[in-house]
Structure 1
């Protein structure tokens, strides 16, 4: 069986390549259309040799449809055969660790050896929605390390003696179920990643000996520093003997530079709305073209456009290569963005073509 964490580099890519998806739901589009696009994207990633497909957890955002990564991933287990499937990530403070362990135990049973679990500590939404999700005010980001450890014990069936859950509470499916049902033979441990856009999660991942994913689509300037901190403080574990890190960011590749900029502009406009405390809506390029920005709005939009590598495939991969050189990332994860499903699929395909990645239709 291939390494459950380390990806394989294909073609001329500088590192293993993976795909991040939010099932973007542009204005005038339905969630059904967006999720059908996600199925198509996973099939494409499977065919072209991308290492993994991850989807992230967001709530109360009309522009995305990934409120439940586990539900989408369960469908994708039947749509793919080689691709690793995972969450990038589950916002752990929103959920009891036992629930997450059981959901991803089920996914691992549906697609043995192909499931990843990425964990984040942000709410994935606004404060009011986070309060509605959590109900328990004590369950927040500050409790994240304890929640991670509890989840790891559920996944490993290894609570220490004397713990209230030891030999009494366990995740099903999971190793405890196999043990109690007298199932013999090796069982691979579900890979757990920590996600972040600062040094906090980098240090926690290093201390626990877990792989680390840096969200450069939120904070591209600090990627190299966070990965350096992760490597410097890494402690070998039963999961990893040496550090392994990926960097994820949003991109738009198109046959036409102007079209790439217009698609990237839809994301920049959605981010502007969030800064203005409005709902996250993904307008069409035509709606963006018709909008008149004031000076401050223009600065915000231009700043976000600078966060999104966009242009021809050659221009985008030149940026990806530079990110990999600067950060030393073991893996790059790309989230193609835009108002239409077709634009996102085309962007991903063009990047695979530009790197000379194989096309395996079988």
Structure 2
């Protein structure tokens, strides 16, 4: 009978699946995809999620490095309310691309729940799971209160993160009430109690943000950092500077490592790209007016009469996007990479129709010289 009382020093077997990506083709840095299962007005969640699956399969075939799924709640234009559930489907649809959350909004969940969900994903796809973490609610305040049923907020993020990291590594300090008594399954605590050498490889943990707070925290903890430039490209250089200046080497990283994520849209013509992204910008205008986050069809917007203030807001969102032909999008991405020094780039194809979103990714893959891994 197998000895189940073996005393194993788990601290000697700490693992973390972080690894820098290898660039493909002639690209200056690796390129990845962020998906939100965009659900334009007139489309169902089933259609949006089916497009997400097809986009993930395409990313896998064309050498994209990562395929991350966002978390949003109470937004008719977005169907990714549960990254872990969608990622579990994508594991069976892909083989090469790393899969992850971009991100899990930690204040919405107990840390143990996140550790177990992503522990299961890692057990199903060892060495291929990224756990990107954010501190925003991913929704409005009222919906956040319905999600949380408590007083957890962004100010609790450091404590939640610390607890999550301990669950992932099963390394609570001596004297902690959870030490050797509460552990995430799957996880290293399960290996310990089952009397085997550690088999669990923790998912790669990233901090995500669109301001300086998470940048500084990621630096101090020695974690990789992903900046959401699709929300605030004007803060990109400041955030990266804060991250790099605050960086402390860790067991995970000996030097800073960054992703810059951008809202993009490529089409066969500049006019078509503007048409698709106009719908997205209008949805952001609606949200800033306190209206439901809906992406209307281009046809619906043809006769919309904008006020001067609305046009100003609309144009501000248009300027946050890198749009146009594929070559124009690539030129924009490469320029941002040059000035920021990002180690990787990530793109969120934000338009109206599923067909146009897939086509945008195809055009960008070709223009970025991404290889076809199935050939």
Deviation at 1:185, TM superposition (A): 5.5
8 A Cα contact 2:17 2:127, kept in partner: no
8 A Cα contact 1:192 1:211, kept in partner: yes
Which ranges of structure 2 fall in alignment gaps of 5 or more residues?
1-15
TM-score, normalisation: structure 2: 0.94
Q: Which has the larger displacement, 163-172 or 224-233?
A: 224-233
Confirm or deny that 1:30 pairs with 2:41.
no
Alignment deviations for residues 4-36 of structure 1 (CA, whole Å, 9 cap, x no partner) = 331121223221110000000011100000000
8 A Cα contact 2:71 2:103, kept in partner: yes
Alignment partners' CA distance in 1, 2:115 and 2:17: 21
Q: Which has the larger displacement, 6-15 or 244-253?
A: 6-15
* Aligned partner of residue 137 in structure 2, secondary structure: coil
Confirm or deny that 1:200 pairs with 2:177.
no
TM-score, normalisation: structure 1: 0.97
Match in the other structure for 1:56: 70
Of 177, 184, 192, 1:171 maps to 184
Match in the other structure for 2:9: none
Q: Which has the larger displacement, 352-361 or 97-106?
A: 352-361
Of 162, 166, 169, 1:149 maps to 162
The number of residue pairs the alignment matches comes to: 361
Match in the other structure for 2:122: 108
Alignment deviations for residues 175-199 of structure 1 (CA, whole Å, 9 cap, x no partner) = 1111211233554332100000111
8 A Cα contact 1:46 1:80, kept in partner: yes
Deviation at 1:157, TM superposition (A): 0.5
Alignment partners' CA distance in 1, 2:254 and 2:201: 16
Of 271, 280, 289, 2:293 maps to 280
8 A Cα contact 1:4 1:114, kept in partner: no
Alignment partners' CA distance in 1, 2:137 and 2:241: 26
- After superposition, where does 1:1-362 map in structure 2 within 5 Å? 4-137=18-151, 139-184=152-197, 187-361=200-374
* Aligned partner of residue 347 in structure 2, secondary structure: strand
8 A Cα contact 1:217 1:308, kept in partner: yes
Alignment deviations for residues 110-132 of structure 1 (CA, whole Å, 9 cap, x no partner) = 11110000000000000000111
8 A Cα contact 2:207 2:224, kept in partner: yes
Alignment deviations for residues 50-84 of structure 1 (CA, whole Å, 9 cap, x no partner) = 11000111000000000000000000000000110
Alignment partners' CA distance in 2, 1:74 and 1:290: 42
- Go from structure 1 to structure 2 and tell me whether the alpha carbon gap of 1:161 and 1:185 turns closer, same or farther (over 3 Å shift): closer
* Aligned partner of residue 184 in structure 2, secondary structure: coil
* Aligned partner of residue 290 in structure 1, secondary structure: coil
Alignment partners' CA distance in 2, 1:345 and 1:275: 27
Deviation at 1:135, TM superposition (A): 1.1
Which structure: larger Rg?
Answer: 2
Alignment partners' CA distance in 2, 1:226 and 1:58: 23
Alignment partners' CA distance in 2, 1:295 and 1:143: 40
Alignment partners' CA distance in 1, 2:352 and 2:143: 25
Q: Which has the larger displacement, 284-293 or 3-12?
A: 3-12
Q: Which has the larger displacement, 182-191 or 350-359?
A: 182-191
Which ranges of structure 1 fall in alignment gaps of 5 or more residues?
none
Alignment partners' CA distance in 2, 1:306 and 1:180: 54
Alignment partners' CA distance in 2, 1:260 and 1:43: 23
* Aligned partner of residue 334 in structure 1, secondary structure: strand
Alignment partners' CA distance in 2, 1:136 and 1:239: 33
8 A Cα contact 1:224 1:328, kept in partner: no
Alignment partners' CA distance in 1, 2:171 and 2:198: 18
Alignment partners' CA distance in 1, 2:87 and 2:328: 31
